[in-house]
Amino acid sequence: MVTKACMPLVLKEKGRFVNTASVLGRIAFLNSSYAISKYGVEAFSDVLRRELYRTGVKVQIIEPGAFTTSIWGTARRLAEQKAAGLNLPAEVRSQLPDDALAQLTRPFEMIEETGSTKLHLVVDAYCHAITAKFPKKRYQVGNDAKYFYWLLWNLPECISDFYIDWLGANSI
């Protein structure tokens, strides 16, 4: 709705749209809801860029890797509270692994433990996307995005699936 509302002005000025996705919009694991929303941003941005190709309007996607912010601790605590408050039938509970809660909260803990604190890298990517004469179509931000995740989405899926499972980065 925001894109549609801004479209006349952006077209008139041959401006830009800069959307924030995530590396998890390129390779999905950890949290399915989050990955789906980021895949949606990727798809929307790609289609928008192609629709506006001949207009002079540019569309960039910022794809940050893991950055440690206070949101992850809050999200982990909410997941713990939600899981603790679930009144699942005994039949469903019996099918869950003993460490179901740990598996649910592990992705948040991984990001808190391994995420970068260099938030200025994301800001720098935005600044470049907004002001550069020749901006990139995609900005993978953070070393994990540039190297680790890039490798995962370029490896054969059987290898990336094995590696993600080996890391214990699958959610239930």
Taking the C-alpha atoms of residue 143 and residue 56, their distance in angstroms, rounded to an integer, is 31
Q: Is 126 a catalytic residue?
A: no
Q: Of 34, 39, 126, 163, which residue is the catalytic one? A: 34
d(CA 167, CA 20): 26
Structural contact between residues 23 and 63, judged by C-beta atoms closer than 8 angstroms: yes
The 10 Å Cβ neighbour count of residue 159 is 11
State how far the Cα of 155 lies from the Cα of 11, in Å rounded to an integer. Answer: 38
Catalytic residues: 34
